[in-house]
Amino acid sequence: MHTHGTDVRQKAIKLLRSGVRNADVSRMLGVPVGTVGYWLHLDRAQQGTLPGRAHRPCPRCDGRELDHAAYAYLLGLYLGDGHIIQYSQHRAPSLMIACDEAWPGLLDECQAAMQAVFPDNSVCRVRRTGCRNVKVYSQHLWCMFPQHGPGKKHDRIIALEPWQQQLVDGHPWDFIRGLFHSDGCRITNWTTRIVAGERKRYEYPRYFFTNKSDDIRTLCSDTLTKVGVEWTTLARGSDPFNISVARRASVALMDAHVGPKY
């Protein structure tokens, strides 16, 4: 094994501290680039300047300020189309919200809300067939979304923590928007009626929220009731998976605060 004298190492450290790249130092001094990198690592360790994991404060753990409206919206998106996962090779879990590429405005809103809730973390979009996953890594996802657990959401209990319920009560429309932007839709329904002896087609707007979880549908319906929206339950076969908003005044409220996906 070839060894290098102290003078060579000192020259390398001086060049590295001046900003010369590892590869350039390697060529200039005839030292393997791996050795140059190791010397740089030791020098940074001695100076206490090694790059490490930055501490990113958490609203729950550290009392960092939280954008309540953005969190209420993101919580609604998570309960609809979100999931948290941690791969064994990753240091932190990731939150992913699946968004249809047909709604670029929804993608933008989702990313903006995620960035507002996690301002010190990078948010990205991952392309999938027909959709994009809006994604963020954070060590604090477990405490920010305690509803996470093994299995599908409709196979386990979904209940808000008191602090989450307080935020939803303070920003109910943001929570509703998140739910309907994930598992909801605004459609034009139609029926026929007899007018002056003739059968005529009558069209009217309607909102649907569809989710297999009884708990999530209850969170949705309870919040709708609190803001004065009248709703009904429609069954899919024998399963009451749909919440419908069809009365004119309630649809007008939904149009003012939620609106169609875009």
pTM greater than 0.85? no
Q: Is 72 exposed, middle or buried (0-12, 13-18, 19+ CB in 10 A)?
A: buried
Sign of the CA dihedral with 162 first, then 99, 106, and 176 last: negative
Q: Residue 247's pLDDT is what? A: 94
Read off φ and ψ for residue 96, nearest 5 degrees.
-125, 130
Q: Is the pLDDT of residue 191 over 90?
A: no
Q: 174 pLDDT band (50/70/90 cuts)?
A: very high
Q: What does the pLDDT look like over 32-54, one tens digit per residue?
A: 988 988 888 888 878 767 666 66
Q: 159 pLDDT band (50/70/90 cuts)?
A: very high
Question: If you average pLDDT over residues 205-229, what whole number do you get?
Answer: 96
Amino acid, single-letter form, for residue 113: A
CA angle 166, 168, 171 (to 5 degrees): 110
Q: Residue 169's pLDDT is what? A: 97
The backbone region for 19, taken as left when phi is positive above 0, alpha when psi lies in -120 to 50, beta otherwise, is left
Beta strands in the chain (DSSP E): 82-85, 94-100, 123-128, 131-137, 184-195, 198-210, 232-236, 239-245
Question: If you average pLDDT over residues 89-101, what whole number do you get?
Answer: 89
Q: Is the pLDDT of residue 183 over 90?
A: yes
Q: Residue 255's pLDDT is what? A: 96
Question: If you average pLDDT over residues 112-131, what whole number do you get?
Answer: 92
CB neighbourhood size of 239 (10 A): 9
Mean model confidence pLDDT for the chain? 90
Q: What does the pLDDT look like over 137-149, one tens digit per residue?
A: 999 999 999 999 8
| Cβ pair 107, 116 in contact under 8 A | no
CB neighbourhood size of 137 (10 A): 17
Q: Is the pLDDT of residue 1 over 60?
A: no
Q: Is the pLDDT of residue 165 over 90?
A: yes
- Tokens 């009626």, residue? 193
